[in-house]
């Protein structure tokens, strides 16, 4: 079989070699003529997969190494009998750890304690549920709004959007949709953004167009009491640089970019493709992950030690600094730079790959670290 794959899907050539000949292409510029004799197409969210791309191809299976699928015309694929799979939850842990790092940075920068703060989580699926667990470990009170999940029943702890908007921290983890009962396009429009309470911290790691970027830019020009963390932007890679200058932390759509999450996504679409074509999948992401590490922190105080442990694995400030370097470039070079940051992203592991040595007397710190996902080794 002939396989066309986005060049930025990690280990895709190694994984799919058992299924056929793999050709790597830039995902953002894939053209129909490149797919004419392809059997399998493997993409990320930067590739629009629709009739225009596939009409004259022989593609029989599409795999997207992403948790979302708003870039794919699923109705067309179904109509044509083309198999389709995504990688739901593959980078959920990474995205949740991004939120933890961002909160620890801003708590230090603005001198406030996270414990006791209320966080409103909008969307409690793969990512939101992990965010909830980790922030609860930090002592934060979590309230959740997720109308689609609430409609499925089985939970009774959901709150209204109005109640979420009263929280100290509001973090968004929804899929991007324009249709249906719960569209999320510009969910945070000018009206909703202006309801953010004084001193609120707003985080969006879902999709750029869930927030009206122009409205947010205008709001931040008026209100310096708000804090904002954005990992996703409307119009990527041509983002609103005025908004970038106003947010507290800005990153190039990399919240879910841990090596663990990326390889997990590759393995998930590999296994789906293998099943579709009746092959036994033998490739495992675990074989390509480097060995974990062990760190010992002697810092005094729970908060100081937590920061040291988290930042030793992932410090969001590094990604923020790299993106802000875009502001020094001519406008014509900024989009390519945004894409390059994503393509050349440094290796980042998840908390679970780093064991932390703690003193046996520090039970509070041990409990929090375990709640965040760190393996903990207690020293005698």
Q: Point out the catalytic residue in the list 44, 130, 132, 207.
A: 207
Beginning with the edge strand found earlier in the chain, give each strand of the sheet holding 249-250 in spatial order.
Answer: 141-145, 118-122, 169-172, 201-204, 227-230, 249-250
- Find how far residue 183's CA is from the centre of its chain: 20
DSSP secondary-structure letter at 169?
Answer: E
DSSP state string for 77-117: HHHHT-EEE--TTTTHHHHHHHHHHHHHHHHHHHT--STT-
In angstroms, the Cα distances linking 227 to 57, 153, 171, 250 are 47, 34, 12, 11
Catalytic residue among 234, 236, 350, 366: 236
> Does residue 28 have an active-site annotation?
no
Q: Hey, which bits of 237-304 come out as E strands?
A: 249-250, 293-296
Catalytic residue among 253, 297, 307, 349: 253
Query: Cα separations (Å) of 113 from 63, 109, 303, 332, 341?
Result: 43, 11, 9, 41, 32
User: Cα–Cα distance between 340 and 90 in angstroms, integer?
Assistant: 22
* Distance (Å, whole) CA 232 – CA 230: 6
What DSSP string runs through 311-379?
HHH--HHHHHHHHHGGGGS-HHHHHHHHHHHHHTPPP---GGGEEEEEETT-HHHHHHHHHHT--EEEE
The answer to whether 322 is a known catalytic residue is no
Q: Is 21 among the catalytic positions?
A: no
| Active centre residues (catalytic) | 207, 236, 253
């Amino acid at each position: 079989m002939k396989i066309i794959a986005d060049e930025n899907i990690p280990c895709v050539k190694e994984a799919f070699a058992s299924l056929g000949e793999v050709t790597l292409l830039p995902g953002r510029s894939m053209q129909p003529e490149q797919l004419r004799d392809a059997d399998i197409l493997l993409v990320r969210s930067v590739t629009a997969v629709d009739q225009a791309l596939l009409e004259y191809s022989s593609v029989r299976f599409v795999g997207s190494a992403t948790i979302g699928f708003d870039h794919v015309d699923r109705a067309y694929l179904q109509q044509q009998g083309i198999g389709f799979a995504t990688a739901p939850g593959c980078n959920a842990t990474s995205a949740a750890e991004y939120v933890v790092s961002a909160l620890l940075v801003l708590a230090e920068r603005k001198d406030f304690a996270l414990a006791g703060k209320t966080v409103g989580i909008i969307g409690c699926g793969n990512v939101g549920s992990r965010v909830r667990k980790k922030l609860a470990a930090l002592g934060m009170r979590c309230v959740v709004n997720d109308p689609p999940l609430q409609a499925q029943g089985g939970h009774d702890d959901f709150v209204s959007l109005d109640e979420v908007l009263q929280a100290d921290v509001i973090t968004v983890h929804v899929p991007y949709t324009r249709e249906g009962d719960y569209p999320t396009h510009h969910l945070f429009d000018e009206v909703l953004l202006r309801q953010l309470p004084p001193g609120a911290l707003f985080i969006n790691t879902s999709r750029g167009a869930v927030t009206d970027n122009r409205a947010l830019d205008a709001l931040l020009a008026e209100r310096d009491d708000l804090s904002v963390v954005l990992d996703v932007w409307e119009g990527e890679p041509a983002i609103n640089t005025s908004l970038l200058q106003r947010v507290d932390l800005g990153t190039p759509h990399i919240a879910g970019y841990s090596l663990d999450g990326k390889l997990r996504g590759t393995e998930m679409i590999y296994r789906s493709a293998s099943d579709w074509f009746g092959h036994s999948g033998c490739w495992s992401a675990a074989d390509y992950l480097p060995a974990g590490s062990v760190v010992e922190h002697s810092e005094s105080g729970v908060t100081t030690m937590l920061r040291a442990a988290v930042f030793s694995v992932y410090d969001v400030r590094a990604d923020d600094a790299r993106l802000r370097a875009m502001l020094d470039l001519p406008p014509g070079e900024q989009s390519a730079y945004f894409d390059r940051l994503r393509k050349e992203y440094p290796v980042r592991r998840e908390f679970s790959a780093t064991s932390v040595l703690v003193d046996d007397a520090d039970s509070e710190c041990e409990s929090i670290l375990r709640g965040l996902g760190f393996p903990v080794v207690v020293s005698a």
